């Protein structure tokens, strides 16, 4: 990850920007528009990368961080800043599209949101979230059937970065 980089856009939406239809690529914003969600900073647009960033392990097992089920940006920052050696969080945070470098690994809540609103934008596969269940397991979303579950962090699963834009 870029040193001292702030993961996530806190500057707001581009002046006069109107999002496209949910599920459409948002030109200049780095990906597919996934709708809106509420975060501590306010209502945000969600933009999911248009492509996966490969298969990666979540982290070494035994790492026990408190992570959110709703805020992937906070989770990604925690995973990277604690030196957890999280290949999947680093891959998501290093993603860049349309000049934006503020992507992060989505929480399980954000992945579920994607499954509800833009499931056809994902492969029929298992995607890691940034939400941890325990020191040895983390949550994933199965886009083939819509299951939320958890498994060992050592397993390699797909990653799909997301960014958010304050309305």
Q: 4 pLDDT band (50/70/90 cuts)?
A: very low
pLDDT in tens, 141-160: 999 999 999 999 999 999 99
10 Å Cβ neighbour count for 95?
A: 24
Answer yes or no: is pLDDT of 14 > 70: no
Residue 2 pLDDT? 36
Q: What local confidence, expressed as pLDDT, does residue 5 receive? A: 39
What are the residue boundaries of the structural domains of the chain, listed by start?
25-166
> Does 7 score more than 50 pLDDT?
no
At the top level of CATH, the class of 25-166 is alpha beta
How far from the centroid of its chain's Cα atoms is residue 16's Cα? 25
Whole-number pLDDT of residue 60: 74
Question: If you average pLDDT over residues 64-86, what whole number do you get?
Answer: 88
């Amino acid at each position: 990850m870029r040193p001292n980089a702030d993961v996530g856009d806190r500057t707001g939406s581009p002046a006069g920007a109107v999002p496209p239809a949910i599920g459409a690529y948002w030109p200049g914003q780095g990906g597919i528009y996934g709708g809106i969600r509420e975060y501590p900073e306010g209502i945000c647009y969600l933009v999911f990368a248009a492509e996966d960033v490969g298969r990666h392990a979540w982290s070494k097992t035994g790492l026990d961080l408190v992570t959110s089920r709703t805020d992937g940006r906070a989770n990604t920052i925690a995973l990277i800043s604690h030196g957890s050696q999280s290949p999947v969080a680093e891959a998501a945070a290093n993603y860049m599209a349309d000049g934006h470098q503020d992507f992060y690994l989505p929480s399980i809540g954000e992945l579920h949101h994607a499954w509800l609103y833009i499931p056809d934008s994902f492969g029929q596969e298992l995607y890691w979230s940034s939400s941890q269940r325990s020191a040895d397991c983390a949550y994933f979303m199965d886009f083939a059937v819509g299951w939320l579950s958890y498994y060992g962090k050592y397993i390699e699963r797909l990653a799909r970065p997301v960014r958010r834009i304050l309305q």
